[in-house]
Structure 1
Amino acid sequence: MTSDWQTVHQERRALAEDLASLTPQEWATASLCEGWDVHDVVAHLTGSARTTRRRFWWSLIRAGLSFDRANAREVAAERAPSPAETLQRFESTITSTEAPPGPLTTRLIEIVVHGEDIRRPLGIRRPAMPPELRDTLAYLARDHLSGGRKRLTGLELVATDGGFTIGSGQTVQGPALSLLLAASGRPVALQDLQGPGLALLHSRLGA
Protein backbone atom coordinates (compact mmCIF):
# COMPACT_ATOMS: atom_id res chain seq x y z
CA MET A 1 0.00 0.00 0.00
CA THR A 2 1.44 3.38 -0.98
CA SER A 3 1.69 6.38 1.29
CA ASP A 4 -0.99 8.03 -0.87
CA TRP A 5 -3.49 5.32 0.04
CA GLN A 6 -2.48 5.68 3.67
CA THR A 7 -3.36 9.38 3.48
CA VAL A 8 -6.73 8.59 1.90
CA HIS A 9 -7.44 6.12 4.68
CA GLN A 10 -6.43 8.65 7.32
CA GLU A 11 -8.80 11.21 5.80
CA ARG A 12 -11.67 8.71 5.73
CA ARG A 13 -11.02 7.77 9.34
CA ALA A 14 -10.93 11.42 10.44
CA LEU A 15 -14.23 12.09 8.68
CA ALA A 16 -15.83 9.02 10.26
CA GLU A 17 -14.81 10.33 13.68
CA ASP A 18 -16.47 13.67 12.95
CA LEU A 19 -19.62 11.97 11.67
CA ALA A 20 -19.94 9.83 14.79
CA SER A 21 -20.97 12.80 16.92
CA LEU A 22 -23.58 14.27 14.55
CA THR A 23 -27.25 14.50 15.47
CA PRO A 24 -29.98 13.31 13.09
CA GLN A 25 -30.69 16.95 12.28
CA GLU A 26 -27.06 17.53 11.33
CA TRP A 27 -27.11 14.50 9.05
CA ALA A 28 -30.02 16.19 7.25
CA THR A 29 -28.09 19.47 6.80
CA ALA A 30 -27.58 20.63 3.23
CA SER A 31 -24.01 20.01 2.10
CA LEU A 32 -21.97 22.10 -0.33
CA CYS A 33 -22.96 19.61 -3.04
CA GLU A 34 -26.10 21.00 -4.62
CA GLY A 35 -29.11 18.81 -3.91
CA TRP A 36 -27.31 16.56 -1.42
CA ASP A 37 -27.48 16.61 2.35
CA VAL A 38 -24.75 15.25 4.62
CA HIS A 39 -26.31 11.79 4.55
CA ASP A 40 -26.20 11.74 0.74
CA VAL A 41 -22.54 12.74 0.60
CA VAL A 42 -21.54 9.97 3.00
CA ALA A 43 -23.50 7.47 0.91
CA HIS A 44 -21.67 8.70 -2.20
CA LEU A 45 -18.28 8.33 -0.52
CA THR A 46 -19.19 4.81 0.54
CA GLY A 47 -20.20 3.81 -2.96
CA SER A 48 -17.11 5.38 -4.48
CA ALA A 49 -14.83 3.50 -2.08
CA ARG A 50 -16.45 0.24 -3.20
CA THR A 51 -16.28 0.98 -6.92
CA THR A 52 -14.00 -1.13 -9.06
CA ARG A 53 -13.12 -0.08 -12.60
CA ARG A 54 -15.51 -2.69 -13.99
CA ARG A 55 -18.32 -1.59 -11.69
CA PHE A 56 -17.70 2.05 -12.64
CA TRP A 57 -18.11 1.43 -16.37
CA TRP A 58 -21.10 -0.85 -15.89
CA SER A 59 -22.83 1.74 -13.71
CA LEU A 60 -22.11 4.52 -16.21
CA ILE A 61 -23.44 2.47 -19.13
CA ARG A 62 -26.61 1.62 -17.19
CA ALA A 63 -27.05 5.34 -16.52
CA GLY A 64 -26.85 6.18 -20.21
CA LEU A 65 -23.33 7.63 -19.77
CA SER A 66 -24.72 10.23 -17.37
CA PHE A 67 -22.48 10.82 -14.34
CA ASP A 68 -25.35 12.55 -12.54
CA ARG A 69 -27.69 9.56 -12.96
CA ALA A 70 -24.94 7.13 -12.01
CA ASN A 71 -24.19 9.12 -8.85
CA ALA A 72 -27.88 9.35 -7.95
CA ARG A 73 -28.26 5.58 -8.23
CA GLU A 74 -25.12 5.06 -6.16
CA VAL A 75 -26.41 7.33 -3.38
CA ALA A 76 -29.80 5.59 -3.38
CA ALA A 77 -28.10 2.20 -3.09
CA GLU A 78 -25.70 3.15 -0.29
CA ARG A 79 -27.92 5.44 1.78
CA ALA A 80 -29.27 3.29 4.61
CA PRO A 81 -32.54 4.02 6.44
CA SER A 82 -30.65 5.55 9.37
CA PRO A 83 -27.49 7.67 9.63
CA ALA A 84 -25.97 5.13 12.03
CA GLU A 85 -26.28 2.39 9.42
CA THR A 86 -24.85 4.60 6.68
CA LEU A 87 -21.93 5.52 8.92
CA GLN A 88 -21.31 1.84 9.59
CA ARG A 89 -21.21 1.20 5.85
CA PHE A 90 -18.78 4.08 5.35
CA GLU A 91 -16.54 2.86 8.18
CA SER A 92 -16.33 -0.54 6.48
CA THR A 93 -14.67 1.14 3.47
CA ILE A 94 -12.03 3.14 5.35
CA THR A 95 -9.14 0.91 4.28
CA SER A 96 -10.51 0.05 0.85
CA THR A 97 -8.17 0.45 -2.12
CA GLU A 98 -10.86 -0.05 -4.74
CA ALA A 99 -11.20 2.90 -7.08
CA PRO A 100 -12.83 3.97 -10.33
CA PRO A 101 -10.54 4.82 -13.27
CA GLY A 102 -8.17 7.72 -12.68
CA PRO A 103 -4.97 8.64 -10.85
CA LEU A 104 -4.74 7.86 -7.15
CA THR A 105 -4.63 11.57 -6.36
CA THR A 106 -8.30 11.79 -7.37
CA ARG A 107 -9.15 9.60 -4.36
CA LEU A 108 -7.50 12.12 -2.06
CA ILE A 109 -9.22 15.03 -3.78
CA GLU A 110 -12.56 13.29 -3.36
CA ILE A 111 -12.30 12.58 0.36
CA VAL A 112 -10.80 15.98 1.23
CA VAL A 113 -13.27 18.02 -0.83
CA HIS A 114 -16.35 16.01 0.12
CA GLY A 115 -15.17 16.06 3.71
CA GLU A 116 -15.34 19.85 3.54
CA ASP A 117 -18.70 19.65 1.76
CA ILE A 118 -19.87 18.11 5.03
CA ARG A 119 -17.79 19.95 7.62
CA ARG A 120 -18.15 23.55 6.48
CA PRO A 121 -21.95 23.77 6.66
CA LEU A 122 -21.75 22.20 10.13
CA GLY A 123 -18.97 24.49 11.36
CA ILE A 124 -16.58 21.59 11.98
CA ARG A 125 -12.90 22.43 11.85
CA ARG A 126 -10.98 19.74 10.00
CA PRO A 127 -7.67 18.18 11.09
CA ALA A 128 -4.30 19.42 9.83
CA MET A 129 -3.81 19.52 6.08
CA PRO A 130 -2.13 16.52 4.44
CA PRO A 131 1.15 17.51 2.72
CA GLU A 132 -0.16 16.03 -0.54
CA LEU A 133 -2.47 19.02 -1.08
CA ARG A 134 0.14 20.56 -3.36
CA ASP A 135 -0.08 17.53 -5.65
CA THR A 136 -3.88 17.64 -5.69
CA LEU A 137 -3.89 21.29 -6.75
CA ALA A 138 -1.27 20.65 -9.41
CA TYR A 139 -3.42 17.82 -10.76
CA LEU A 140 -6.59 19.92 -10.87
CA ALA A 141 -4.76 22.75 -12.64
CA ARG A 142 -4.20 20.49 -15.65
CA ASP A 143 -7.30 18.27 -15.48
CA HIS A 144 -10.00 18.78 -18.11
CA LEU A 145 -12.57 16.28 -16.84
CA SER A 146 -13.10 17.92 -13.44
CA GLY A 147 -13.15 21.42 -14.91
CA GLY A 148 -10.09 22.33 -12.86
CA ARG A 149 -7.99 23.43 -15.81
CA LYS A 150 -10.75 25.71 -17.11
CA ARG A 151 -11.14 27.33 -13.69
CA LEU A 152 -7.42 27.82 -13.06
CA THR A 153 -5.92 28.72 -16.45
CA GLY A 154 -4.10 32.05 -16.24
CA LEU A 155 -3.98 32.04 -12.45
CA GLU A 156 -1.11 31.65 -10.02
CA LEU A 157 -2.25 29.94 -6.82
CA VAL A 158 -0.22 30.79 -3.73
CA ALA A 159 -0.83 28.68 -0.63
CA THR A 160 -0.17 31.02 2.27
CA ASP A 161 -0.04 28.13 4.74
CA GLY A 162 1.67 25.58 2.52
CA GLY A 163 4.70 27.35 1.12
CA PHE A 164 3.99 26.47 -2.51
CA THR A 165 2.79 28.05 -5.74
CA ILE A 166 0.89 26.44 -8.62
CA GLY A 167 0.46 27.89 -12.11
CA SER A 168 1.23 31.31 -13.54
CA GLY A 169 -0.72 34.48 -14.21
CA GLN A 170 -2.84 36.66 -11.95
CA THR A 171 -2.27 35.77 -8.31
CA VAL A 172 -4.87 34.23 -6.03
CA GLN A 173 -3.65 33.47 -2.53
CA GLY A 174 -5.02 31.93 0.61
CA PRO A 175 -5.10 28.69 2.62
CA ALA A 176 -4.27 25.58 0.59
CA LEU A 177 -7.56 23.91 1.47
CA SER A 178 -9.58 26.91 0.30
CA LEU A 179 -7.61 26.98 -2.95
CA LEU A 180 -8.42 23.30 -3.44
CA LEU A 181 -12.12 23.88 -2.79
CA ALA A 182 -12.23 26.79 -5.23
CA ALA A 183 -10.38 24.72 -7.83
CA SER A 184 -13.06 22.05 -7.29
CA GLY A 185 -15.85 24.54 -7.96
CA ARG A 186 -16.91 25.49 -4.42
CA PRO A 187 -17.69 29.25 -4.38
CA VAL A 188 -17.87 29.28 -0.56
CA ALA A 189 -14.06 29.11 -0.48
CA LEU A 190 -13.68 32.44 -2.29
CA GLN A 191 -14.25 34.35 0.95
CA ASP A 192 -10.93 32.97 2.23
CA LEU A 193 -8.94 34.10 -0.81
CA GLN A 194 -7.50 37.36 -2.08
CA GLY A 195 -5.34 38.78 -4.86
CA PRO A 196 -5.68 40.39 -8.30
CA GLY A 197 -6.87 37.12 -9.87
CA LEU A 198 -9.76 36.66 -7.45
CA ALA A 199 -12.28 38.49 -9.65
CA LEU A 200 -11.48 36.16 -12.56
CA LEU A 201 -11.81 33.06 -10.41
CA HIS A 202 -15.02 34.47 -8.95
CA SER A 203 -16.52 34.83 -12.43
CA ARG A 204 -15.47 31.31 -13.44
CA LEU A 205 -17.21 29.84 -10.42
CA GLY A 206 -20.35 31.78 -11.27
CA ALA A 207 -20.41 33.33 -7.82
Structure 2
Amino acid sequence: MQVYLHMGTTLSKVWPTVHAERAQLVDDLSRVPDAAWSTPSLCPGWSVHDVLAHLIDAATTTRLGFGRRLIVARFDFDRDNETGIAMKKCASPSDTLDLLRRSIDATSTPPANPATRLVEAFVHGEDIRRPLQISATYPIGPVVEALTYQCRTTVNFGGGRERIDGMRLNTIDAEFEHGPDDGQQVSGTAIDLLLAVSGRPVPAGALSGPGAKTLVAD
Protein backbone atom coordinates (compact mmCIF):
# COMPACT_ATOMS: atom_id res chain seq x y z
CA MET A 1 0.00 0.00 0.00
CA GLN A 2 1.31 3.42 -0.93
CA VAL A 3 1.12 6.06 1.78
CA TYR A 4 -0.04 9.44 0.59
CA LEU A 5 0.34 12.50 2.76
CA HIS A 6 -2.02 15.38 1.99
CA MET A 7 0.12 18.44 1.31
CA GLY A 8 -2.53 20.83 0.04
CA THR A 9 -3.55 21.55 -3.52
CA THR A 10 -2.29 24.52 -5.50
CA LEU A 11 -2.44 25.17 -9.23
CA SER A 12 1.35 24.98 -9.48
CA LYS A 13 1.16 21.41 -8.15
CA VAL A 14 -1.92 20.49 -10.17
CA TRP A 15 -0.90 21.55 -13.68
CA PRO A 16 1.91 19.02 -14.28
CA THR A 17 -0.51 16.20 -13.49
CA VAL A 18 -3.34 17.67 -15.56
CA HIS A 19 -1.05 18.24 -18.54
CA ALA A 20 0.27 14.68 -18.32
CA GLU A 21 -3.29 13.32 -18.17
CA ARG A 22 -4.34 15.33 -21.22
CA ALA A 23 -1.34 14.06 -23.16
CA GLN A 24 -2.07 10.46 -22.19
CA LEU A 25 -5.74 10.81 -23.13
CA VAL A 26 -4.79 12.19 -26.55
CA ASP A 27 -2.50 9.22 -27.07
CA ASP A 28 -5.14 6.72 -25.91
CA LEU A 29 -7.83 8.19 -28.16
CA SER A 30 -5.66 8.51 -31.26
CA ARG A 31 -6.47 4.88 -32.08
CA VAL A 32 -10.25 5.06 -31.53
CA PRO A 33 -12.29 4.55 -34.74
CA ASP A 34 -14.76 7.26 -35.71
CA ALA A 35 -17.76 4.98 -35.16
CA ALA A 36 -16.89 4.58 -31.46
CA TRP A 37 -17.10 8.29 -30.67
CA SER A 38 -20.88 8.16 -30.33
CA THR A 39 -20.57 5.59 -27.51
CA PRO A 40 -22.44 6.75 -24.38
CA SER A 41 -19.98 7.90 -21.72
CA LEU A 42 -20.32 7.36 -17.98
CA CYS A 43 -21.55 10.95 -17.79
CA PRO A 44 -25.34 10.74 -18.24
CA GLY A 45 -26.56 12.13 -21.54
CA TRP A 46 -23.10 12.68 -23.00
CA SER A 47 -21.26 10.63 -25.61
CA VAL A 48 -17.51 10.12 -25.31
CA HIS A 49 -17.16 12.78 -28.02
CA ASP A 50 -19.20 15.19 -25.88
CA VAL A 51 -16.98 14.59 -22.86
CA LEU A 52 -13.88 15.22 -24.94
CA ALA A 53 -15.35 18.53 -26.14
CA HIS A 54 -16.16 19.44 -22.54
CA LEU A 55 -12.56 18.77 -21.49
CA ILE A 56 -11.34 21.10 -24.24
CA ASP A 57 -13.80 23.76 -23.16
CA ALA A 58 -12.63 23.45 -19.55
CA ALA A 59 -8.99 23.67 -20.67
CA THR A 60 -9.46 26.82 -22.72
CA THR A 61 -12.05 28.91 -20.86
CA THR A 62 -10.60 31.78 -18.84
CA ARG A 63 -11.95 33.01 -15.52
CA LEU A 64 -13.40 36.10 -17.18
CA GLY A 65 -14.85 34.09 -20.04
CA PHE A 66 -16.43 31.66 -17.60
CA GLY A 67 -18.08 34.50 -15.71
CA ARG A 68 -19.47 36.06 -18.86
CA ARG A 69 -20.83 32.77 -20.15
CA LEU A 70 -22.43 31.93 -16.83
CA ILE A 71 -24.30 35.22 -16.87
CA VAL A 72 -25.54 34.46 -20.40
CA ALA A 73 -26.61 30.99 -19.18
CA ARG A 74 -28.47 32.63 -16.27
CA PHE A 75 -26.20 30.77 -13.85
CA ASP A 76 -27.39 27.41 -15.15
CA PHE A 77 -24.23 25.26 -15.12
CA ASP A 78 -25.82 22.53 -17.25
CA ARG A 79 -26.80 25.06 -19.92
CA ASP A 80 -23.30 26.53 -19.87
CA ASN A 81 -21.75 23.08 -20.24
CA GLU A 82 -23.92 22.35 -23.26
CA THR A 83 -22.87 25.67 -24.78
CA GLY A 84 -19.21 24.80 -24.24
CA ILE A 85 -19.61 21.39 -25.83
CA ALA A 86 -21.33 22.86 -28.87
CA MET A 87 -18.47 25.35 -29.27
CA LYS A 88 -15.67 22.78 -29.09
CA LYS A 89 -17.19 19.67 -30.66
CA CYS A 90 -16.09 19.36 -34.28
CA ALA A 91 -17.87 17.41 -37.01
CA SER A 92 -14.87 15.09 -37.19
CA PRO A 93 -13.76 13.45 -33.91
CA SER A 94 -10.15 13.62 -35.09
CA ASP A 95 -10.46 17.40 -35.32
CA THR A 96 -11.86 17.57 -31.80
CA LEU A 97 -9.00 15.40 -30.57
CA ASP A 98 -6.56 17.75 -32.30
CA LEU A 99 -8.05 20.63 -30.31
CA LEU A 100 -7.22 18.79 -27.09
CA ARG A 101 -3.74 18.05 -28.43
CA ARG A 102 -3.21 21.78 -28.92
CA SER A 103 -4.56 22.47 -25.42
CA ILE A 104 -2.42 19.99 -23.49
CA ASP A 105 -0.33 22.67 -21.77
CA ALA A 106 -3.13 25.22 -21.31
CA THR A 107 -3.48 26.71 -17.83
CA SER A 108 -6.83 28.45 -18.16
CA THR A 109 -9.30 27.62 -15.42
CA PRO A 110 -12.65 28.78 -14.08
CA PRO A 111 -12.63 30.36 -10.60
CA ALA A 112 -12.71 27.08 -8.67
CA ASN A 113 -10.66 25.07 -6.20
CA PRO A 114 -7.50 23.75 -7.91
CA ALA A 115 -8.54 20.20 -6.99
CA THR A 116 -11.41 20.48 -9.46
CA ARG A 117 -8.85 20.31 -12.28
CA LEU A 118 -7.78 16.90 -10.97
CA VAL A 119 -11.40 15.76 -10.68
CA GLU A 120 -12.02 16.83 -14.28
CA ALA A 121 -8.94 14.99 -15.55
CA PHE A 122 -9.54 11.71 -13.73
CA VAL A 123 -13.34 11.40 -13.68
CA HIS A 124 -13.86 12.58 -17.26
CA GLY A 125 -10.89 10.49 -18.34
CA GLU A 126 -12.70 7.42 -17.03
CA ASP A 127 -16.03 8.69 -18.40
CA ILE A 128 -14.41 8.23 -21.79
CA ARG A 129 -12.06 5.29 -21.28
CA ARG A 130 -14.27 2.78 -19.49
CA PRO A 131 -17.04 2.64 -22.11
CA LEU A 132 -14.33 2.27 -24.77
CA GLN A 133 -12.60 -0.44 -22.71
CA ILE A 134 -9.36 1.50 -22.49
CA SER A 135 -7.44 0.84 -19.29
CA ALA A 136 -5.34 3.49 -17.59
CA THR A 137 -3.10 3.87 -14.56
CA TYR A 138 -3.44 7.09 -12.61
CA PRO A 139 -1.01 8.73 -10.12
CA ILE A 140 -2.28 7.72 -6.71
CA GLY A 141 -1.48 10.93 -4.84
CA PRO A 142 -3.42 13.28 -7.11
CA VAL A 143 -6.32 10.79 -7.31
CA VAL A 144 -6.55 10.81 -3.51
CA GLU A 145 -6.41 14.62 -3.62
CA ALA A 146 -9.38 14.60 -6.01
CA LEU A 147 -11.22 12.04 -3.86
CA THR A 148 -10.66 14.12 -0.73
CA TYR A 149 -12.14 17.15 -2.46
CA GLN A 150 -15.18 15.25 -3.75
CA CYS A 151 -15.90 13.80 -0.30
CA ARG A 152 -16.00 17.30 1.20
CA THR A 153 -17.96 19.02 -1.58
CA THR A 154 -21.74 19.00 -1.95
CA VAL A 155 -23.51 17.40 -4.90
CA ASN A 156 -24.83 20.82 -5.96
CA PHE A 157 -21.23 21.91 -6.54
CA GLY A 158 -20.21 18.75 -8.37
CA GLY A 159 -19.02 16.76 -5.37
CA GLY A 160 -20.50 13.80 -3.54
CA ARG A 161 -20.69 14.63 0.16
CA GLU A 162 -24.35 13.67 0.49
CA ARG A 163 -23.78 10.34 -1.29
CA ILE A 164 -21.40 9.17 1.43
CA ASP A 165 -23.28 10.47 4.45
CA GLY A 166 -22.82 7.97 7.28
CA MET A 167 -20.17 5.98 5.40
CA ARG A 168 -16.54 5.23 6.21
CA LEU A 169 -14.47 5.13 3.03
CA ASN A 170 -11.03 3.58 2.80
CA THR A 171 -8.80 2.88 -0.17
CA ILE A 172 -7.03 -0.42 -0.73
CA ASP A 173 -4.19 1.11 -2.75
CA ALA A 174 -3.35 4.14 -0.61
CA GLU A 175 -3.57 5.25 3.01
CA PHE A 176 -6.84 7.17 2.89
CA GLU A 177 -9.90 7.11 5.14
CA HIS A 178 -12.88 9.40 5.30
CA GLY A 179 -16.03 9.42 7.41
CA PRO A 180 -17.09 8.53 10.95
CA ASP A 181 -15.35 5.60 12.65
CA ASP A 182 -18.70 3.85 13.13
CA GLY A 183 -19.90 4.56 9.59
CA GLN A 184 -20.77 1.87 7.06
CA GLN A 185 -17.50 0.65 5.55
CA VAL A 186 -16.85 1.03 1.82
CA SER A 187 -13.51 -0.12 0.41
CA GLY A 188 -12.05 0.05 -3.07
CA THR A 189 -9.29 1.54 -5.16
CA ALA A 190 -8.92 5.30 -5.06
CA ILE A 191 -10.07 5.71 -8.67
CA ASP A 192 -13.17 3.53 -8.19
CA LEU A 193 -14.11 5.38 -5.01
CA LEU A 194 -13.56 8.70 -6.79
CA LEU A 195 -15.94 7.65 -9.55
CA ALA A 196 -18.57 6.33 -7.15
CA VAL A 197 -18.46 9.42 -4.94
CA SER A 198 -18.78 11.52 -8.12
CA GLY A 199 -21.97 9.65 -9.04
CA ARG A 200 -20.51 7.35 -11.69
CA PRO A 201 -21.15 3.59 -12.00
CA VAL A 202 -18.33 1.21 -11.17
CA PRO A 203 -17.97 -2.47 -12.09
CA ALA A 204 -19.68 -5.08 -9.92
CA GLY A 205 -17.37 -6.07 -7.10
CA ALA A 206 -15.15 -3.00 -7.43
CA LEU A 207 -16.31 -1.80 -4.02
CA SER A 208 -16.81 -3.90 -0.91
CA GLY A 209 -18.21 -3.46 2.58
CA PRO A 210 -21.66 -2.92 4.12
CA GLY A 211 -22.09 0.50 2.49
CA ALA A 212 -20.97 -0.49 -1.01
CA LYS A 213 -24.41 -1.34 -2.39
CA THR A 214 -25.88 1.90 -1.10
CA LEU A 215 -23.12 4.01 -2.64
CA VAL A 216 -23.26 2.24 -5.99
CA ALA A 217 -27.07 2.37 -6.07
CA ASP A 218 -26.95 6.15 -5.62
Q: Of residues 100, 110, 113 in structure 2, which corresponds to 1:103?
A: 113
Contact residue 123 and residue 195 of structure 2 kept, 8 A: yes
2:57/2:85 contact within 8 Å kept: yes
The partner residue of 1:180 within 164, 189, 194 is 194
> Residue 115 in 1 paired to residue 129 in 2?
no
Give the distance between the partners of 1:147 and 1:93, measured in 2 at CA.
25
Measured in 2, the distance between the counterparts of 1:159 and 1:130 equals 10
TM-score (norm 1): 0.93
Which residue matches 2:49? Answer: 39
With structure 2 as the length reference, what TM-score do the two structures score? 0.88
**1:165 maps to which of 174, 177, 191:** 177
Match of 1:201 in 2: 215
Question: Is the deviation greater in 164-173 or in 4-13?
Answer: 164-173
Say if 1:62 and 1:191 are closer, same or farther in 2 by CA, change over 3 A: farther
Q: How does 1:118-137 map to 2 (within 5 A)?
A: 118-137=128-147
Aligned match for 1:90, one of 100, 107, 128? 100
Gaps of 5+ in 2: 1-10
After the TM superposition, which of the residue ranges 155-164 and 38-47 deviates more from structure 2?
155-164
What amino acid sits opposite 1:170 in the alignment? Q
User: Which letter maps to 2:214?
Assistant: L
The Cα shift of 1:190 comes to 6.0
Q: C-alpha separation between the residues in 2 aligned to 1:129 and 1:172?
A: 21
Q: CA deviation at 1:93?
A: 1.1
Trace 1:10-89 onto structure 2 (pairs within 5 A): 10-89=20-99
C-alpha displacement at 1:161, in angstroms? 1.4
SS at match of 1:201: helix
Structure 1 stretches of 5 or more lacking a match?
Answer: none
How far has the Cα of 1:184 moved from its partner? 0.5
RCO greater where, 1 or 2, for CA within 8 Å and sep 6 or more? 2
Asked whether the equivalents of residues 42 and 201 of structure 2 are also in contact (C-alpha less than 8 Å), the reply is no
Secondary structure of 2:130's partner? Answer: helix
Percent identity between the aligned chains?
A: 44
Letter in 1 for 2:213: A
Per-residue CA distance 1:8-54 (angstroms, 9 max, x = gap): 11111111111111000111211111121111111100001011111
The count of aligned residue pairs is: 204
In structure 2, how many angstroms separate the alpha carbons of the residues matched to 1:202 and 1:116?
16
**Match 2:164 to one of 144, 149, 152:** 152
Quote how far apart the aligned CAs of 1:189 are.
Answer: 4.9
Work out the CA distance in 2 between the residues paired with 1:128 and 1:147. 20
Cα distance in 1, alignment partners of residues 94 and 216 from structure 2? 38
- 1:163 Cα offset (Å): 2.8
